[in-house]
Structure 1
Amino acid sequence: MVRRRSQVGFTLVELLVVIAIIGVLIGLLLPAVQQAREAARRNSCINNAKQLALAYHNFHDTYREFPPARGSSSPKYGSTVFVLPFLEQGNLTDLFDRDAAAGFADPVNQAAANTNVPIIRCPSSPVEGLIKMRSSSSTGSHYGDFLTTSGTTSDESDPTIMTGWASDYWVNHLISSSSYDLYFPGAARPDPILNRYAPGSKMRDTTDGLSNTMMILEHAGYDQHYVKGVGMPMPSTDTTLDQPGAWGTWLGWCAFQLQTYSNYTPTSYPTGGSTPSGIGCTVNCNNSQGLFGFHPGGATVAMGDGSVRFFNEGMAGEVLMALASRNGGEVAQP
């Protein structure tokens, strides 16, 4: 008699059940992995803001004043230039020529602009690589032509267009008077922690308290336009993003006017003319003039005392405007 050998294996039903279980496990695991990665990115962003705040403090310790929000109006460059030596970037400081006629956009400073300084980049930002420099735009009129080594051009494919690394951290040189008036009607617009131009402000000028005043704000996404984390198409008819190139490169005229917005969605956002201040959205609304990051639920801010906080998207406008000023006399806590 022939003995039959028993066969060991999975039936089709059993195999399908195993595959289904594995699929469920992967579905449960992926969100946890993504959350862990975002937590790491957020911690890195917080550390970047902390290091930048310490650099501004070290500058103050050395020169007895903070650098101005805008380093110079002619030639133009931003406050980051001042604190490079305090970010262990002394060689890069020497590479940048402050006296160049066109400032940050001068061809002699192209090598400096193209140098990647990791501390100015938030790992959650979707903008990668070098961005193309634009001239200063006029809101409601045009974005501004691209800057070339010999002038300007509207041809985006021009090989002579100058480039630079974008920064995700900025200082605000003003507080929007229209936004401030929405929350504090009739009150005079106060000042942010840094003066708009030289001479720089001093710590004692922050009468609201350094721990109650914002200094370094996440203002990410340049030179693209984002509304609530969604990239806008940027047609010629949408000119509501201010100076995407001039402000975007880290050596640029890095300052913005802090504003609050109406609760627009990417589909309801008005894409013509300037976007007025509004009530309803304070954080992660619009990267034109707002506190804006790509973290779920909020954005990173370094305060005047060097501490770093995470401002939630639901923050009240009164609180945001109060914390933006150094001398408004408001009483507010995030």
Structure 2
Amino acid sequence: MFRSQTSKAGFTLVELLVVIAIIGVLVGLLLPAVQAAREAARRMSCSNNFKQIGLAVHNYHSAYNQLPKQKTGTGLDPTTGAWWDGTNVTNQSQLSWLVPITPFIEQQAIWEQISNPLGFELSAGGGLVPRTPSWTAMGPKPGSNYVYPPGMTELPSFRCPSDPGTGLPGMGRTNYACCLGDSFSKAESGAVNQTLVVTSADAEWCRAGQRGAFVVHQKMAFRDILDGLSNTIIGGEINTDLGDRDITTDAAIFKPVKATPSICRTDGSVDPQRPRFWASGTNTIIKAHGSIYGRGYQWMTGEHLHTGMMTILPPNSTLCYQGEWPGQEGIAPPSSRHQGGCHVLMGDGAIKFVTNSIESGNQEAHMVEFSRTGISAPGSKSPYGLWGALGTRASKETVSEF
């Protein structure tokens, strides 16, 4: 009697390898789509955060009939010689525009800490310990220490999810900055001298050069934006520094950018093999003074390295300084981790995405300044094309579409 044999079904090694190869191809095709979808979600969240800041600015204006001030606070410490000196007694009137709007973005708790005397500080381990004497209301000069709790608090509303920077040496990072216009002439001090006293000479230079929606130390309002709220940028997105010598987050120093804004791109400062980074020999603020001076590291600080931007160079261009310190003047373009451009906040609260290729006029033209004549004379239209025109509040320039 014969017994039949049944063969067992199975995959051969070749068939298994083919299946694995097909799965690998499908994953390779799918992964970029998944990453793109994630970035699209992060970009949308970033835009929504900026939208909430825009609404907060409008609500603040409705309450106080003015925009939140860039560089405001409790005046000069009489024991110091100048506003740039560190002190725990006052904040030297160096608070950023983001501080006054905290109650309008559901951050009442942090505002209560800032606006009242605070009897705690951060310990070396990150916890809170009692402090005697207490911090004065509105806090110390921002950025002068690592122990003032509100200054070290990172607020999600001020962060873009696409930016991976976090933690030290940052002191509470932010990705959103106010627009200071198309010139940095007097952008750091405005109409005041080193002791915060308004002088006629400083005021004259400030009126000529400071043409944006925000002017440091000065009360500004929507009524000052004569070009129209929908035609004027009042804020822009910025990257925070990752410690990698990125041209958008670490400022090259001692550059004649007032005369030639594009100088950092054309004088060999940028690595030709890696154009998003500085060449090894380029001197920068971080290289000269330490890692605490990265872009966007201090949300409470009114210096434009941290909370200001300009419409001189187009988005994601070089961060390039005339001097060597954050408290000195330099070109601070907006920037982002999004592909091809960055978000800006318009005066009417709209969020627009501006590409790196926006028309930006003559990048070798001297910026508008009191002492200049010709195309850079006070009152002239922006030498930086459409991009510059969007950053000025009252230059009578027509902006149709961008």
Shorter-chain TM band: 0.7 to 0.9
1:279-309, Cα deviation, whole Å (9 max, x unpaired): xxx1222356111000012101110000111
Structure 2 distance, partners of 1:67, 1:304, is 13
Distance of aligned partners of 1:131 and 1:216 in 2 relative to their CA distance in 1, 3 Å threshold: farther
Q: Which amino acid aligns with 1:202?
A: A
Distance of aligned partners of 1:245 and 1:294 in 2 relative to their CA distance in 1, 3 Å threshold: closer
Q: What's the offset of the Cα at 1:165?
A: 1.6
5+ residue gaps, structure 1, are 133-162, 179-187, 262-281
Corresponding residue for residue 168 of structure 2? 131
**Which residue of 148, 154, 177 maps to 1:170?**
177
For 1:296-311, what aligned pairs fall within 5 Å after superposition?
A: 296-311=339-354
Structure 2 distance, partners of 1:257, 1:233, is 20
1:300-325, Cα deviation, whole Å (9 max, x unpaired): 11100001111112211111111111
Does residue 310 of structure 2 align to residue 258 of structure 1? Answer: yes
The answer to whether the 8 Å contact 1:131/1:249 transfers is no
For 1:132-211, what aligned pairs fall within 5 Å after superposition?
A: 132=169, 164-176=171-183, 189=209, 191-198=211-218, 200-211=219-230
The answer to whether the 8 Å contact 2:343/2:354 transfers is yes
- Paired residue secondary structure (2:95): strand
Corresponding residue for residue 141 of structure 1? none
For 1:322-333, what aligned pairs fall within 5 Å after superposition?
A: 322-332=389-399, 333=401
The answer to whether the 8 Å contact 1:193/1:201 transfers is yes
Structure 1 distance, partners of 2:146, 2:184, is 37
Does residue 297 of structure 2 align to residue 290 of structure 1? Answer: no
Corresponding residue for residue 4 of structure 1? 5
Structure 1 distance, partners of 2:31, 2:341, is 22
Percent of paired sites with the same residue? 33
1:34-62, Cα deviation, whole Å (9 max, x unpaired): 11101100100110110001111111111
Q: What's the offset of the Cα at 1:100?
A: 6.1
The answer to whether the 8 Å contact 2:311/2:387 transfers is no
The answer to whether the 8 Å contact 2:239/2:295 transfers is no
The answer to whether the 8 Å contact 1:84/1:93 transfers is yes
Corresponding residue for residue 21 of structure 2? 20
Task: Flag the structure with higher strand content.
Answer: 1
Structure 1 distance, partners of 2:233, 2:137, is 30
Corresponding residue for residue 38 of structure 2? 37
Structure 2 distance, partners of 1:96, 1:104, is 11
Q: What's the offset of the Cα at 1:172?
A: 3.0
Higher deviation after alignment, 30-39 or 233-242: 233-242
Distance of aligned partners of 1:325 and 1:221 in 2 relative to their CA distance in 1, 3 Å threshold: same
Q: Which amino acid aligns with 1:176?
A: S
Does residue 317 of structure 2 align to residue 248 of structure 1? Answer: no
Structure 2 distance, partners of 1:237, 1:313, is 23
5+ residue gaps, structure 2, are 74-82, 84-91, 116-135, 186-207, 250-273, 321-331, 361-384
1:44-98, Cα deviation, whole Å (9 max, x unpaired): 0110110001111111111111122222452422111111111111221121257
Task: Identify the structure with bigger relative contact order (alpha carbons < 8 Å, sequence gap 6+).
Answer: 1
Corresponding residue for residue 103 of structure 2? 85
- Paired residue secondary structure (1:302): strand
Distance of aligned partners of 1:331 and 1:131 in 2 relative to their CA distance in 1, 3 Å threshold: farther
Structure 1 runs of 4+ with >4 Å offset? 97-101, 106-109, 228-237, 240-243
The answer to whether the 8 Å contact 1:219/1:292 transfers is yes
Corresponding residue for residue 148 of structure 2? 110
Corresponding residue for residue 140 of structure 1? none
Corresponding residue for residue 51 of structure 2? 50
Q: What's the offset of the Cα at 1:173?
A: 3.0
Distance of aligned partners of 1:61 and 1:236 in 2 relative to their CA distance in 1, 3 Å threshold: farther
The answer to whether the 8 Å contact 1:283/1:291 transfers is yes
Structure 1 distance, partners of 2:317, 2:31, is 27
Corresponding residue for residue 378 of structure 2? none
Structure 2 distance, partners of 1:330, 1:65, is 24
How many residues are matched? 273
* Alignment root-mean-square deviation, CA: 2.9
